[in-house]
Structure 1
């Protein structure tokens, strides 16, 4: 089925064209990754397809049966409503039933739960509710009655992602899912789950991402916006890099040829008289076409910067018996480590285990509860924090950089001006005079990185440096860091980025435990898989001992408790105590000699009913507990 067609789309902001005369088609089942530098129109193109913006020129056709779902970098919510109300916002009986059920479970009201279960049964909503539970659980979304206005940035992204996945899973058969940087603020386990989920759901996808492993896992085609044009590459990221290099080489050869022709034609133009014949007029028109081709520039920015890094002495940092906790949440329990020159350490772990706190303690931005942190006299930190740029006033980019220094010293002597340094970080001369408030999220991240390096640090601390950075800038950053001579500590959920740059990992396992793993992220995941397989084999071997075998032989095979049975079991555990309480209250009433006969008869009948219900529910509870 044909989903979307675009022909000759053009969009500009002011005098700056984003893309010009681009055409493409999206069919059912296509999985496309869209890449480009920040600020050249990726998000704008997605908003045009979603109908939130209009193109300046061109035609856009969307099939009448296709719904377009857009997951944006900055999600929008009804701030006056709860997380539950924002996620289950569709006005449909099944969605409303699931919303009622989730609210009842969270309130732990037995009567409400019973009503909600009855309604779920009537609508046959359990299969979809199981999918909803999976999404909410995997994205670590709890406390559904909290106002959405109280959520942190990362929580808002996860709630928005859950809302999008639930919408596309329920409402429409034919949906084009467009996702703008969906992996930002997700930990690695969440990202890997999202990969499997998108592949299992078999959605039609248009994706903007900087995560190259995620890109390869969920897409089979890459579109690149570059120099106002759209280039299409079939295959994975590695194939894209090879094909793009071949294209640039071919384009450069074509430009070189045009330049040779241009020199000859320019000489002819200078020699010709002002009066033109028809023949020479045709050649003159051709000259301007050749001139345009000859003056093309292919920008394939490569950052080659020899930093005059501040000298790093023999003593770097020693951490001895460091403890840190927030209430009952332990971050560090007696952490010991001595850092060496040139170390490259990755820091990984689930969200909320204290990775950013650890970086702050290391730099003495936050204090530890106890222990010693000795920092060498020569250590100069370069802190790239998640907080982003700290801006007191809205300056132009070049003015902002000059507040740190007018020039940047180089390792081989000499220096580089602030303007030249900005160009190395892909800020064109025009862009250098843009106000900070007008920069995109990725451009602000790039400028933040530049200002960190401008101070010549010898110990770089990078907390999620890849969020909002485009793939060309990431390649620039990776190349720079691979040649950097100082110490580097990186917190990142970008597995590709970590694999390329780190030598070993600090794995925050929770409860203050930190494992020092000798290898990169992929090696760590392979090791984890091996450990899980070993644990499974040990459990299997224990189960095959003579004692275990005789126990297995004496018991019949058990059916596993399903989702609906689990819900029934939970409800029984709530209902039975309520019936016992009612039975006790009625027994007390019956002991009163003052009750009239009619009232006594009613209580007696109710007691018989309660005893019958208790017997049935207890038997069912025993059956279900066997399955458990």
Structure 2
């Protein structure tokens, strides 16, 4: 039975249809990614499941026994609460269950026949096992470290930034492990190392998950299914993001074949209309009506096919397509042994590099390592402490998460045409109508007169990016450009960036985006060191992971060598000790007695007269204890016997 079952769900806001007769199910253990353009209904689907919004029609069936939790975009915490307390507050039920389990275990030491206690102990053990709560304190420590919250452990959570607060909330939810977890853009504000840790927890602990994400690698690594929200419909695909693309390509191929068949049928019916209608029979009238329906469908199909085809082509372009010709390269930046320290933290140490006209560089590394500081140095908003920094004579366009280039009081039309008119000149010299250009960034015509201040965060980002590509510049510097963007918009951004003729320097945590755009990496490796790499980012991370595993293996091997050395140091033993010899002599009799007792207990459990008198629980408990003792003594006897044989050989 499905944990969540939505049937024929419809929802409309004013005249805009969000969902129409949509169906959705979620089974235990599934991890479903919800994708689609902003405003298509992804968040509405979440709100309907959480019962924050009621559908206009349809049936909602949610298993009453399951607990559903959702990661809020802007989590709220009680006053005067530390980061650690905020996490532990979400784990009250788990901690209470663990305390109760320990209490019952102690009670069973003296009252081991109490069936109610045994049953409750078993239920609690299953609950704690499901939530991976046996080692909760150590898991809290690990999450604090991996999500870079350890330094804020005892700081008031309400004093943290929005991104840090989301990490606190996410940490608590992951440890709590509700029956169903809903996550809206969980990888926002996480660096790649945090994302990999999150992936590890979600996969290892078998979460049932419904999540919205623009991080395509995250979707590919985590999702068992992808649900695309488009035109009020929910279309489901098996597998992760790469499987979604393959299945979408197959759907497109089928649509094209069906359209070809439809055109043939329309031609046949058109011939019949011209030559075959001889009377106004009902059958003929019905066939005429069907012909006009087919003709209308044949007109509308190409637009849908073309739209899907363009979206797929954007996504399926070669990740590392090389330019056929490279222009003569011009020096933009030259850095020689630069240093930068903030407070007592050395962010950049002995960094030397050159950046040329055609370079596309991703700056990557953990949060707080110095990525944004390096961007500010390139922007000349921050000075270096030591070394040489040279910048050529060229024009820069800058995009940041604060969208400083936008005026909330102006309409979109005023932003793009400040001097009036309705034309806009792009960075490549093309002159376009504003609507024709903004249509590429998924804005409908009615948005031209909207003020920037009323737009959502994602819509503002789209405006800022569209404005960016109207500037004639030699270098673009971008700080987390994919944040708050849906996947179709990221595809458009990637297309524009790949066609840009200048240099690109950007910070991003989106591994897929970095792989697709960057030709070079500046990797913050720790302690202020920056390494240049020409590998794809995903390949670099994989190699780094394998090297760490090798380091850990070497440590283990060294431990084993040390252990072996210690074992070999004592003088070689030639006979059993007095104590071991007595144990070796007595073990055969003890094993015979245990075998007899085990046989007796098994016989009693097979005889109703016997087990009704003593009790099945008591007999079963004693049998398990005797079996455990028997196995332990057999193992000990074999160990001693091996020693005796080695002395005699």
Given the two structures, how large is their TM-score scaled by the length of structure 2? Answer: 0.71
Partner of 2:199: 195
CA shift digits 1:320-377 (9 cap, x unpaired):
3322111101111232211122112221111111101110111112222333322211
Summarize the Cα distance change of 1:78–1:534 in structure 2 as closer, same or farther, 3 Å threshold.
Answer: closer
How far apart in 1 are the matches of 2:145 and 2:553?
A: 28
How far apart in 1 are the matches of 2:81 and 2:264?
A: 66
- Structure 1 SS opposite 2:39: coil
Comparing 27-36 and 467-476, the one that deviates more? 467-476
CA shift digits 1:160-210 (9 cap, x unpaired):
101222332xxx5xx121111101111111111111111111111112111
Is contact 2:346-2:528 (8 Å) kept? yes
Is contact 1:38-1:440 (8 Å) kept? no
- Structure 2 SS opposite 1:295: helix
Q: Which structure 2 residue ranges, 5 or more long, are not aligned?
A: 100-127, 315-326, 572-649
What is the CA-CA distance between 1:156 and the residue it aligns to? 1.3
Summarize the Cα distance change of 1:341–1:55 in structure 2 as closer, same or farther, 3 Å threshold.
Answer: same
Partner of 1:402: 417
How far apart in 2 are the matches of 1:269 and 1:399?
A: 53
The counterpart of 1:362, out of the listed 378, 394, 398, is: 378
CA shift digits 1:129-182 (9 cap, x unpaired):
3333332332222334433321112201101101222332xxx5xx12111110
Is contact 2:406-2:464 (8 Å) kept? no
CA shift digits 1:382-410 (9 cap, x unpaired):
21212235543333333323239941247
How far apart in 1 are the matches of 2:147 and 2:426?
A: 45
The count of corresponding residues between Structure 1 and Structure 2 is 517
Partner of 2:440: 424
Summarize the Cα distance change of 1:251–1:435 in structure 2 as closer, same or farther, 3 Å threshold.
Answer: farther
Aligned pairs for 1:444-523 within 5 A: 444-523=460-539
How far apart in 1 are the matches of 2:505 and 2:5?
A: 45
1:209 to 2:208 alignment: no
Partner of 1:617: none
Partner of 2:12: 12
Comparing 33-42 and 453-462, the one that deviates more? 453-462
1:328 to 2:344 alignment: yes
Partner of 1:2: 2
Partner of 2:140: 132
How far apart in 1 are the matches of 2:49 and 2:570?
A: 60
Partner of 1:55: 55
How far apart in 2 are the matches of 1:161 and 1:253?
A: 46
Partner of 2:106: none
Partner of 2:391: 375
How far apart in 2 are the matches of 1:144 and 1:75?
A: 17
Is contact 1:216-1:237 (8 Å) kept? yes
- Structure 1 SS opposite 2:410: coil
Summarize the Cα distance change of 1:534–1:127 in structure 2 as closer, same or farther, 3 Å threshold.
Answer: closer
- Structure 2 SS opposite 1:40: coil
Partner of 2:360: 344
- Structure 1 SS opposite 2:237: strand
Partner of 2:457: 441
How far apart in 1 are the matches of 2:176 and 2:560?
A: 46
Q: Which structure 1 residue ranges, 5 or more long, are not aligned?
A: 100-123, 305-310, 557-628
Aligned pairs for 1:151-166 within 5 A: 151-166=160-175
How far apart in 1 are the matches of 2:553 and 2:49?
A: 51
Partner of 1:115: none
How far apart in 1 are the matches of 2:472 and 2:98?
A: 55
How far apart in 2 are the matches of 1:20 and 1:482?
A: 37
- Structure 2 SS opposite 1:73: coil
CA shift digits 1:63-122 (9 cap, x unpaired):
1111211123333434564434433335946547999xxxxxxxxxxxxxxxxxxxxxxx
What is the CA-CA distance between 1:478 and the residue it aligns to? 2.4
Summarize the Cα distance change of 1:397–1:189 in structure 2 as closer, same or farther, 3 Å threshold.
Answer: same
Given the two structures, how large is their TM-score scaled by the length of structure 1? Answer: 0.73
Summarize the Cα distance change of 1:464–1:509 in structure 2 as closer, same or farther, 3 Å threshold.
Answer: same
